[in-house]
Amino acid sequence: MKITLSDKKVLVTGGAGFIGSNLCETLLEMGNIVVCLDNFSTGKKENIEPFLVHPNFKLIEGDIRNLEDCKKAVEGIDFVLHQAALGSVPRSVHDPITSNDVNIGGFLNMLVASRDVGVKRFVYAASSSTYGDSESMPKVEDVIGKPLSPYAVTKYVNELYADVFSKTYGIETIGLRYFNVFGRRQDPNGGYAAVIPKFVSQLMKGESPTINGDGTYSRDFTYIDNVIQANLLSLISEKEESFNTVYNIAFGERNTLNDLMSYLKMYLSEFDPKISNIKVIYGPNRAGDIPHSHASIEKAKQNLKYNPKHSLQKGLKEAVKWYWDNL
């Protein structure tokens, strides 16, 4: 399905981040006007550097915790793609207050600002962490457990607020529960780096990566291009039943951390054969981690026409090449 979306004014919060900057790039390429709101706490100027000279791109350096910044950002906006958040389960365990302030307080500010100016649709980054201790497999949107981390609590509260705002104020909301997104521009540095770029960076340096646990924990790893597709489809959908709900955004396939490490070593050793011999270290499990994650994507397929093209292996091949060329 070819996605057509042009001449719209779209606000991307967290637009200098990993997912946000990829969304900004795609929307600009399609002929839209893009406003990026970011405070650069986790986003990076270099991610949006190429767009700063684009006539259809506007950067607002601001914080979603500040309602006035949110109001400024939504002026004249048709659609909001709300990606701004403090990610990472470990970060939220270490500092639950800041995660709460950004992910819940900031989210509410964005909803209020969007409501007040009549934004047509508010699409937001939800999270697979919402499934918590639910052991059902694959994960289906209406069967969740209790959250296992402060981060998971914040992302679930986002869904509750979005539901209330859609019912009370009539704003169209769509939540996309991302499952372990990876790909170009994902930061390998810092204490809370996502697992794939961190492993790639370590292997490229000849260092032994550490897997938390015995490597049998599994994830539904989701390449960035699948996520971009889901966001665009959320903006163009006209089906009444597609609004005011949440969707799993994944590939719909489960791979263990041991599988992941095998693929990374295989693809990276094409650039440097020595990488295939690097030993892997196994450490303790992380607090708040969900053991297994596997998404049913049937609802997104049916309502949004979501059709992910990148499996873990296909996505990793592209991501590894990007890191090799850019790190």
Q: Among residues 78, 80, 144, 145, which one has the least CA distance to residue 110?
A: 80
CA gap 17, 47 in Å, rounded: 7
Looking up residue 14, the CATH number of its domain turns out to be 3.40.50.720
Do the domain assignments include residue 197? no
Q: Which residues contact 143 (CB under 8 A, 6 or more apart)?
A: 134, 136
Question: Given this model, what pLDDT does residue 190 score?
Answer: 75
**Is there a domain that residue 283 lies in?**
no
* In a domain? residue 259: no
Task: Give dist(CA 19, CA 50) in Å, integer.
Answer: 16
Measured CA to CA, the distance from residue 159 to residue 124 in angstroms comes to 9
SS3 241: helix
Task: Please give the structure tokens belonging to residue 176.
Answer: 């996309």
Q: Could you report the per-residue pLDDT of 16-61, keeping only the tens digit for each?
A: 999 999 999 999 999 999 999 999 999 999 999 999 999 999 999 9
Q: Which of 151, 161, 178, 306 is catalytic?
A: 151
For 196, the token pair is: 């794939």
Burial 195-210 (b: 16+ CB within 10 A, else e): bbbbbbbbbbeeeebe
Is residue 271 included in any domain, yes or no?
Answer: no
pLDDT of residue 1: 67
The four Cα atoms 74, 79, 83, 85 give a dihedral, to 10 degrees, of 40
pLDDT tens per residue, range 292-303: 889 999 999 999
In this structure, is residue 273 part of a structural domain?
no
For residue 206, is it within any domain?
A: no
* Distance between CA atoms of residues 250 and 253, nearest Å: 8
Report the pLDDT value the prediction gives residue 191, as an integer from 0 to 100.
Answer: 75
Look at residue 114 in the predicted model and tell me its pLDDT. 98
Low-confidence ranges of the chain (pLDDT < 50): none
Listed in sequence order, the residues at least 6 apart from 226 whose beta carbon sits closer than 8 Å to its beta carbon are 249, 250, 251, 308, 309, 310, 315
Rounded Cα gap, residues 209 and 86, in angstroms: 24
* Known catalytic membership, residue 124: no
d(CA 207, CA 237): 46
Q: What per-residue confidence (pLDDT) applies to 30?
A: 97
Indicate whether 94 belongs to any domain: yes
Measured distance CA(320)–CA(200) in Å, rounded: 7
Helix residue ranges, H only, 105-248:
106-117, 150-169, 195-204, 224-236
Global pTM reads: 0.96
Between CA 132 and CA 123 the distance in angstroms is 22
Q: Say how far apart CA 25 and CA 51 lie, in whole Å.
A: 8
Within a domain: 327: no
Give me the number of domains the chain comprises.
1
What residues make up the domain containing 77? 9-182+221-252+294-309
pLDDT score of 285: 87
- Given a contact cutoff of 8 angstroms between Cβ atoms, the answer to whether 239 and 324 are in contact is no
